[in-house]
Amino acid sequence: MSLQFQTNRRLSEFSTFGIGGPVSYAVEVHTIEEMQQAFAWTNEQHLQTLVLGKGSNCLFADSGFLGLAIVNKIDFCDIHELSVRVGSGYSFSLLGVQTARRSLAGLEFASGIPATVGGAIFMNAGAGGSETCDHLHSVSYLHEDGRLEEFLRKDLQFSYRKSPFQSMKGAIVGAVFHLELSLSARHHQLEIINYRMKTQPYKEKSIGCIFRNPSKGVSAGALIQECGLKKYKKGGAQVSDMHANFIINTGDATAQDVVELIRIVQQRVKFKMDIDLEPEIRMLP
Ligand SMILES: Cc1cc2nc3c(=O)[nH]c(=O)nc-3n(C[C@H](O)[C@H](O)[C@H](O)COP(=O)(O)OP(=O)(O)OC[C@H]3O[C@@H](n4cnc5c(N)ncnc54)[C@H](O)[C@@H]3O)c2cc1C
């Protein structure tokens, strides 16, 4: 087997947050066959798996993970007329830029989201009223037992930051998007990226918005800001000064710091506004 199973790695290395304890094994997979081999190996060894994209939505535990972290690098991309066939490890942000440059509309919102395509589908990532599922046509899915299955979007139920893959065991390995022709796509995408750069703490270590917006039109960030929590700190974790729904790792934050800060924010917002904030991040394992 050609796969390189690495030891002595930490989950913090696989997260944009830079937080997370040791993992028993880690492996990068570049093809669907390699993903199959990785699953076969964990089945043989009776180990658990954690399939990862860029770790841009994951708060990993300080205690780490007993099992195999599979870092997805399946990154082919074929654009043919209005149809895009893409590997799940492909950069979602790059896909948004490349399609917009070809005057293809539907994924402009992806530009600036530091995700893989697979992570974006799994989380049904979205911004500015658009969601990953909107222009999705189909998903190739590898079950942990090695079976490859093709799902059509019309048979899948997505909702706000939810996909059916969140209750399945396996990996999204590829997808097809059907886009629309629009001469303003590139302009729209550039507007989106400029807005992100101005409003989100891109230079800091974070995992994006921590809480779901409690209802349509009500921003969790605005509620946290109204409670005066911008810059509030617990250990090395801090509510961002730029966008109150982001928590940043100021250097030495632990998962425990982040969890405590999340609790404090929830308690303050509940006390002041009687609103329950629910995290949208993945706390793993
Ligand atoms: C600066 C910044 C800005 C952000 N902006 C946005 C935004 O505008 N909108 C938004 O929705 N999110 C945003 N996010 C959050 C994050 O980028 C998204 O949730 C994204 O979808 C996560 O993708 P990922 O590849 O990093 O997944 P990961 O964080 O690696 O994984 C997330 C979950 O998906 C699972 N997973 C990942 N890949 C696969 C796969 N191939 N098969 C099966 N399961 C898989 C993982 O096991 C995990 O449970 C932002 C994050 C940052 C840091």
Residue bearing the CA closest to ligand 1, atom 28? 55
Instruction: Answer whether 95 contacts ligand 1 (Cβ < 6 A).
Output: no
pLDDT for residue 266 is more than 80: yes
Instruction: Answer whether 12 contacts ligand 1 (Cβ < 6 A).
Output: no
226 as an active site residue: the answer is no
Matching residue, tokens 């669907």: 32
Q: Which of 58, 133, 209, 227 is catalytic?
A: 209
Structural domains for the chain: 9-72 (3.30.43.10), 77-187 (3.30.465.10), 201-284 (3.90.78.10)
Q: Which residues face 253 on adjacent strands?
A: none
**Residue 271 CA, ligand 1 centroid: distance in Å:** 30
For 268-277, what is each residue's pLDDT tens digit?
Answer: 999 999 999 9
List C-alpha distances in Å: 211 to 11, 97, 149, 165, 218. 22, 27, 32, 20, 12
How far apart are alpha carbons 114 and 120 in whole angstroms?
9
278 as an active site residue: the answer is no
Residue bearing the CA closest to ligand 1, atom 13? 208
pLDDT at 1: 55
Instruction: Answer whether 247 contacts ligand 1 (Cβ < 6 A).
Output: no
**pTM exceeds 0.95, yes or no:** yes
Phi, psi for 65 (deg, rounded to 5): -145, 125
pLDDT at 164: 98
pLDDT at 2: 80
Report the pLDDT averaged over residues 152-156. Answer: 98
Q: Which of 161, 186, 196, 268 is catalytic?
A: 161
For 59-82, what is each residue's pLDDT tens digit?
Answer: 999 999 999 999 999 999 999 999
pLDDT at 75: 96
pLDDT at 216: 84
**Residue 110 CA, ligand 1 centroid: distance in Å:** 11
Instruction: Answer whether 29 contacts ligand 1 (Cβ < 6 A).
Output: no
User: Binning pLDDT at 50, 70 and 90, where does residue 285 land?
Assistant: confident
For 238-262, what is each residue's pLDDT tens digit?
Answer: 999 999 999 999 999 999 999 999 9
209 as an active site residue: the answer is yes
**Residue 122 CA, ligand 1 centroid: distance in Å:** 8
How far apart are alpha carbons 274 and 57 in whole angstroms?
27
For 89-101, what is each residue's pLDDT tens digit?
Answer: 999 999 999 999 9
**Residue 95 CA, ligand 1 centroid: distance in Å:** 15
The three-state DSSP-derived secondary structure of the chain is: CCCCCECCEEHHHHCCCCCCCEEEEEEEECCHHHHHHHHHHHHHHCCEEEEECCCCCEEECCCCEEEEEEEECCCCEEEECCEEEEECCCEHHHHHHHHHHCCEECCHHHCCCCCEHHHHHHHCCEECCEEHHHHEEEEEEEECCCCEEEEEHHHCCCECCECHHHHCCEEEEEEEEECEECCCHHHHHHHHHHHHHHHCCCCCECCCECECCCECCECHHHHHHHCCCCCCEECCEEECCCCCCEEEECCCCCHHHHHHHHHHHHHHHHHHHCCCCCECCEEEC
Tokens of 4: 């390189």
User: Binning pLDDT at 50, 70 and 90, where does residue 217 land?
Assistant: confident
pLDDT at 52: 98
pLDDT for residue 233 is more than 80: yes
pLDDT for residue 106 is more than 80: yes
Instruction: Answer whether 213 contacts ligand 1 (Cβ < 6 A).
Output: no
For 7-44, what is each residue's pLDDT tens digit?
Answer: 999 999 999 999 999 999 999 999 999 999 999 999 99
List C-alpha distances in Å: 126 to 65, 93, 161, 222, 233. 28, 12, 7, 18, 28
